[in-house]
Amino acid sequence: MDEMKQPLSGTRERLMMTARIDPDAELVQSLRDAEPRAADQLVDAYGERIYRLAVQITGLREDAEEVAQDALWTAVRKIDMFKGDAAFGSWLYRITANAAYQKLRARKGRQHELPWEQLLPALDEAGRHFEPMDDWSPRVDEHALQGELREVLTTAIEGLPPDYRTAFVMHDMEGLSNPEITETLGISLPAVKSRVHRSRLFLRQHLADYMTRASEQSRS
């Protein structure tokens, strides 16, 4: 009797270990087995998060809906390409981010953009910002500025060039690691770090300019 239980115990232990490694193990197996409800389970688990990421990168709900649908469908069709080296959620995020990035680049390529150098604050030879900035951070706690600052920040993010915007959203807003972004965008690790760093500088400058104008208006 004990001998008959041993294989079951071993199987259960392996399943528990797999679940600890990736909480989506059962979902992944359902997709691999092409179970009828698997696609719906995928949408229930990740639909909103995938759509949110697509909106943050593309900036348009229509594009985000298309990106989210494509990403989810790609995950269903190409589930055998998921090797389990990383969490399933991270794999799906990379598919979504890449699709959104390509969508954004295609749209931005048809629009006039200012040269990126004109958008950046001045940097020294080491890549650090050296122009003085007012310390406006204490005023961020003022309730009257909360909504306005969010709008200003959203507008500033939308003004980033596609390459920088995608890296910034993936890193600072969605928490993906630099190596994951490197793999998704097909660029070097130093390039990822540079894009995230320069995006932060641009956004900080944009917010600082807004706070300076707000302070001047309050004094007048």
Q: Rounded to whole angstroms, how far apart are CA atoms 163 and 171?
A: 12
> Which segments of the chain have a pLDDT < 70?
1-21, 108-146, 218, 220
Beta carbons of 122 and 93 less than 8 angstroms apart? no
> What type of residue is 94?
R
The CATH architecture of the domain made up of 116-219 is Orthogonal Bundle (1.10)
| 103 alpha carbon, distance to own chain's centre | 14
pLDDT at 144: 47
Q: Rounded to whole angstroms, how far apart are CA atoms 69 and 170?
A: 19
pLDDT at 109: 56
Residue 152 tokens read as 């200003």
Domain spans in the chain, listed from the N-terminal domain onward: 10-108, 116-219
Give the CA distances from residue 151 to residues 47, 82, 91, 100, 148, in Å, rounded to whole numbers and listed in that order. 25, 38, 31, 22, 5
pLDDT at 220: 63
The CATH architecture of the domain made up of 10-108 is Orthogonal Bundle (1.10)
pLDDT at 104: 85
pLDDT at 59: 86
Q: Rounded to whole angstroms, how far apart are CA atoms 151 and 162?
A: 19
- The conformation of residue 129, written as its DSSP 8-state character, comes to B
pLDDT at 67: 96
